[in-house]
């Protein structure tokens, strides 16, 4: 590690979160662990392995490249790609035993140019239904009927039919209930087909409404400790990620002097300031310019504009260069949670963690005795 900015990932906490969720779910419900976007910034390979150890039945990613990374790392669980792929990539999916999300009949028609019916291998698909999120999916019974002949082909296995909720973290559940009713109707459309799994609940819905768990749930945010705590009872999950750096420079800023791009800050009095080597190219967005960090267990306010590589903070006194700074996590008696930061800038916690770029080294803790350096090197080799 050549720069004093790093994220620490507690793999034991991720494993404990998955175990807790697994025990919370109905016994018959399978758990699909979502490790897209580099495991929401926590490391896709590392978190996938923890999920497997904790009892996950499936893995899910957003894109083909993410699935191939997991296969190359030796992960054997079924993997669902949540975003539809181009039809010409179907042979690659078959080669690596990947399950595909499909949303339209025309995809099957185009796919047949690359996989005729009687060529080897069965293609496992999950059909995405749009019950109100509005992004992708089958919306009408006519669209479904157009798809049915393709789903009846001997080399197609309908492993799942699923939907995704738009407002599962909202206290008002009326729109979610509307989506549930729509999905129940769509389940009736598919009743004449052999469907292995129906799933509609991701993290928030699975923890709030166990009756919606059906055959499987998709657990992403909750695996990393992000969930609507105020709406969930009977389970406690904890975040696994903390973010740290060190003071690289300190100085006395005199009253009236400016700091940062566009003279965005002017000192109202003489004060100490510190510069920290993290910026928006690391995922510490300019929207966080009024957030705080922890220095020696005290909160220090970010001042001036956040630049690409550095931020500046107001210090309570002259603090030695090299002093540890905590942006997410605990220092002495103080803590700054990722939820606090998310609330401040009006985003969800997973947007922050998944935005932490590759420039920030991940250090993994408590992984079954495997040295941290070995874990990091293994991932970087891929």
Binding residues for substrate, as ranges, are 135, 308
Catalytic residue among 76, 95, 258, 261: 261
3-state secondary structure of 251: strand
Q: What are the structure tokens assigned to 76, written together?
A: 């054997």
Q: Which of 252, 251, 224, 262 is nearest to 339 (CA)?
A: 224
> CA dihedral in degrees (95, 101, 104, 106; nearest 10)?
-10
CA R_g for the chain: 24
Cα–Cα distances (Å) from 54 to 11, 121, 216, 317, in that order, read 11, 30, 16, 46
Q: Is residue 36 flagged as an active site residue?
A: yes
Which residues are part of a known binding site? 135, 308
Separation CA 325–CA 322 (nearest Å):
9
Q: What are the structure tokens assigned to 280, written together?
A: 């928006």
Task: Give yes or no for a contact between 97 and 80, defined as CB atoms under 8 angstroms apart.
Answer: no
> Tokens 């690289």 correspond to what residue?
248
Task: Give yes or no for a contact between 362 and 282, defined as CB atoms under 8 angstroms apart.
Answer: no
Q: Which of 36, 17, 43, 3 is nearest to 372 (CA)?
A: 43
Catalytic residue among 36, 115, 128, 305: 36
Q: Is residue 261 flagged as an active site residue?
A: yes
The length of the chain in residues reads: 382
Q: What are the structure tokens assigned to 336, written together?
A: 């700054």
Task: Give yes or no for a contact between 77 and 59, defined as CB atoms under 8 angstroms apart.
Answer: yes
Provide the CB-side half-sphere exposure for 332 (13 A, CA).
9
Residues facing 161 on adjacent strands? 127, 198
Active site residues: 36, 261
């Amino acid at each position: 590690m050549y720069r004093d900015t790093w994220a620490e990932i507690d793999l034991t906490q991720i494993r404990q979160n998955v175990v807790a969720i697994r025990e919370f779910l109905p016994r018959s419900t399978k758990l699909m662990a979502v490790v897209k976007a580099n495991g929401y910034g926590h490391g896709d390979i590392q978190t996938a392995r923890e999920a497997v150890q904790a009892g996950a039945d499936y893995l899910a990613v957003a894109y083909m490249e993410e699935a191939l990374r997991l296969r190359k790392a030796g992960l054997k669980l079924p993997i669902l790609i949540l975003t539809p792929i181009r039809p010409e990539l179907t042979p690659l999916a078959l080669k690596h035993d990947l399950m595909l999300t499909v949303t339209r009949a025309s995809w099957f028609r185009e796919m047949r140019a690359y996989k005729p019916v009687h060529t080897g291998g069965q293609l496992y698909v999950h059909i995405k239904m749009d019950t109100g999120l509005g992004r992708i999916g089958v919306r009408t019974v006519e669209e479904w009927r157009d798809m049915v002949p393709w789903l009846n082909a001997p080399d197609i296995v309908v492993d799942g039919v699923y939907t995704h909720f738009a407002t599962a973290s909202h206290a008002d559940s009326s729109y979610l209930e509307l989506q549930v009713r729509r999905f129940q109707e769509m389940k009736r459309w598919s009743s004449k087909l052999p469907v292995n799994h129906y799933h509609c609940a991701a993290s928030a819905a699975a923890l709030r409404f166990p009756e919606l768990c059906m055959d499987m749930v998709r657990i992403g945010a909750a695996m990393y400790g992000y969930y609507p705590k105020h709406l969930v009872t009977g389970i406690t999950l904890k975040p696994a990620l903390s973010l740290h750096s060190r003071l690289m420079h300190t100085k006395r800023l005199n009253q009236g002097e400016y700091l940062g791009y566009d003279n965005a800050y002017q000192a109202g009095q003489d004060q100490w300031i510190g510069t920290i080597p993290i910026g928006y190219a690391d995922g510490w967005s300019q929207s966080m310019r009024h957030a705080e960090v922890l220095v020696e267990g005290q909160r220090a306010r970010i001042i001036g504009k956040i630049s690409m590589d550095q931020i500046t903070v107001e210090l309570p006194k002259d603090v030695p260069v090299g002093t540890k700074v905590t942006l997410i996590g605990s220092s002495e008696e103080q803590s700054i949670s990722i939820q606090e930061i998310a609330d401040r800038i009006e985003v969800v916690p997973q947007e922050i963690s998944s935005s932490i770029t590759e420039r920030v080294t991940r250090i993994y803790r408590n992984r079954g005795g495997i040295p941290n350096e070995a874990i990091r090197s293994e991932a970087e080799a891929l």
